[in-house]
A and B are shown apart, each in its own frame.
Chain A
Amino acid sequence: MEVIEGILIEPVGCLAEFPSGPFLELAFRLFNRKRKASQSGSRAYWHLLNLVQSAGKNLEESEKKLVETLELEAVAAANVYEDVVPALAELNGMGIKLFIATSLSGAATKCFLERHSLSEFFSGSWSSENSKGVKAAPLEAAIAGASLNPSHVMFLVDTLEGLKIAHTVGVQSILMMNDPDDARRLAMHNPSGGIVSLHELPDFIRLVAAENSTSR
């Protein structure tokens, strides 16, 4: 693995546990898809993004408003993992550039960062609004905006869709192994790496740097 210079982070599932309800509600109201109450927030979110992308349509203003309202509802109920703040602070201290790269709306992204006092840790924030798209679009915008080499960038993911996007964009996909059963399934899709907790990320990056300075 190349030396890591930047990390793209999708807040849903990687910084916080989001409720599935608002995303399932959106899937139902925008695309008439039935609710699957057992889905995790992250899987419900990516399921919705797949629907948005495959529909290929621009949302009407009323639909955008609905998305924003329900995403804000999801943000309000999201629980940030306890290791997030110390890990982000340590990464900042190491000189690693951090970017939010999410398909949430701009309002939901801003609300999430402010609500949990996380804005200070990030060099930039790319949402569906300012990247003008979902899934790969925020990643591509972040990479272009900061002039990063994709192979020197990590993208934290916890779903198969996230892994696919990382492969498409050419960044290092790092699996957040929140649920061991899900992670075991996803590990078969060749992520570049995996961590159990965000607090491991600084060590991960140090190890990669050490490997690049010595032969492993």
Chain B
Amino acid sequence: MKKISIYRPTSVDEAIQILSEHGTEAGVYAGGTDLLIRLKNRLKQAPTYLVDIKKIENLRYIKEDEQGGVLIGAATKIAEVANSDLLKQKYPMLVQAANMISSPELRNASTLGGDLLQEVWCQYLRGGYSCWRNGGYLCYGAIGDNSYYHSAMGGRLCYAVYPGDAATALIPYDARARLATPRGVKELSIEQLVPGDLMVDGRIQSHVVRYNEILTEVVLPPPKPGVRASFEKLRPRGVWDFAMASLAMCLQLQGQTIDDARVVFGGISGKPLRETAVENFLKGKTLSPSLKDDAIAVALANAAPLKYNATKIDMAKGLLASGLDKLSATA
């Protein structure tokens, strides 16, 4: 592991100042379940200066706001999200998803912010290949074994999938993210926060957070009436693994009629993939088990699987069918 220096600021402003001084050589250190492994893997983009934000107060909380929504501090542990009674009551699908993130031990260490902004887990990147995210100019996943960690929906230089589950589960609730920046607070939707592979500060990453910005808070708006939601995840092993494919779905019902829908796939693309074609198809329909065949037919029409991962698309469609089945049964 390369030599590193650690700063322990006590305020967000101080942390931003340190990050600004060191540029892309510095990185935020919270749970460490992604960052420390990047360092251990000797990745070129791993920071030399760690800015440990665990000593900063007011970044670790789950609390209700005045409008009836919920605010979650970015340094809140995934285990705390998974065990929160408030979240269980208001956003049960988010809790369901949090309980499927990694293993119990890692959920105790990793943070919500870390899950949202984690680096991809492509075996070529983590194995030290000189790929787009590691100082090189070629995606080895596009031409190698792409059965698990790579996109079946096309790519842009890097073909790794976005690995986080929290973003997939937050998008259907129209959650937003707050960032502390040198110019003040910036607020983005979760979709805007993790739009997939893009160049930020001269490097490829899945999120838009710049080198001198810190994700501080996730804002969940008040739950809508009549919402039924489900989270589905397929992975090679029952615990621990990242999604081969996942699905977060929220249907807002009036009686049995679907007033509004949010359908987001994870594990199949470079970003949490909101499938608006299925959402538009579902709106106005009567929720019933017979919907699933037609919903599957319109889903993921733009799929562009690589050589070994076409099965991800079948998995994702299967999750859509089972999700609609479950919501039909509970409605």
Residues on A facing B (Cβ under 8 Å): 1, 174-175, 177, 180-181, 183-184, 187, 191-196, 200, 203-204, 206-208, 210-211, 213-216
Contact = CB atoms under 8 A, between A and B. Distances in A.
B225 interface: no
Given A180-B307, A215-B24, A210 B202 contact: yes
Contacts of B24: 214-216
A177 B143 contact: yes
Contacts of B199: 203, 206-207, 210
8 contacts: A1-B137, A177-B142, A194-B139, A194-B143, A203-B156, A208-B137, A211-B202, A215-B202
A211 B203 CA distance: 8
Contact of A207 (B23, B140, B204): B204
Contacts of A213: 202
Interface of B: 23-24, 44, 132, 135-140, 142-144, 155-157, 159, 199, 201-204, 306-307
B142 A204 contact: no
Nearest to B132: A207
Nearest to B211: A214
Contacts of B201: 210, 214
Given A180-B307, A213-B202, A196 B135 contact: no
Given A187-B143, A194-B137, A215-B24, 18 more contacts: A1-B137, A175-B138, A177-B142, A180-B144, A181-B307, A183-B143, A184-B143, A184-B144, A191-B138, A193-B136, A194-B143, A204-B157, A206-B199, A207-B132, A208-B137, A215-B202, A216-B24, A216-B203
A192 B96 CA distance: 45
Nearest to A192: B137
A146 B73 CA distance: 57
A166 to B, nearest CB: 14
A1 B132 CA distance: 13
A203 B307 CA distance: 23
Per DSSP, are chain B's interface residues mostly helix, strand or loop, or mixed?
A: loop
Contacts of B136: 193
A122 to B, nearest CB: 24
Nearest to A206: B199
A57 to B, nearest CB: 38
Contacts of A215: 23-24, 202
Nearest to A196: B142
Highest count of chain A CB atoms <10 Å: which of B144, B157, B307: B157
A40 to B, nearest CB: 16
Contacts of B156: 200, 203
A216 B306 CA distance: 29
B192 to A, nearest CB: 19
B306 A207 contact: no
A192 B307 CA distance: 23
A200 B203 CA distance: 15
Highest count of chain A CB atoms <10 Å: which of B44, B140, B155, B202: B202
Nearest to B138: A194
Contacts of B306: 180
A196 B202 contact: no
Q: Give me the 5 closest cross-chain CB pairs, A-B, nearest first.
A: A193-B137, A194-B138, A210-B202, A214-B202, A183-B143
Contacts of A183: 142-143
A193 B142 CA distance: 13
A193 to B, nearest CB: 3
A195 B138 CA distance: 7
Contacts of A211: 202
A208 B23 CA distance: 18
Contact of A180 (B137, B143, B157, B203): B143
Highest count of chain B CB atoms <10 Å: which of A175, A215, A216: A216
Nearest to B140: A187
Nearest to A174: B137
A211 B138 CA distance: 15
A205 to B, nearest CB: 11
B135 A207 contact: no
A63 B24 CA distance: 59
Highest count of chain A CB atoms <10 Å: which of B44, B199, B201, B204: B199
Contacts of B132: 207
B140 to A, nearest CB: 7
Contacts of B142: 177, 180, 183, 194, 196
A214 B142 CA distance: 27
Contacts of B138: 175, 187, 191, 193-194
Given A194-B137, A194-B138, A200-B156, A207 B202 contact: yes
A200 B157 contact: yes
A177 B144 CA distance: 11
B270 to A, nearest CB: 13
Contacts of B139: 194, 196
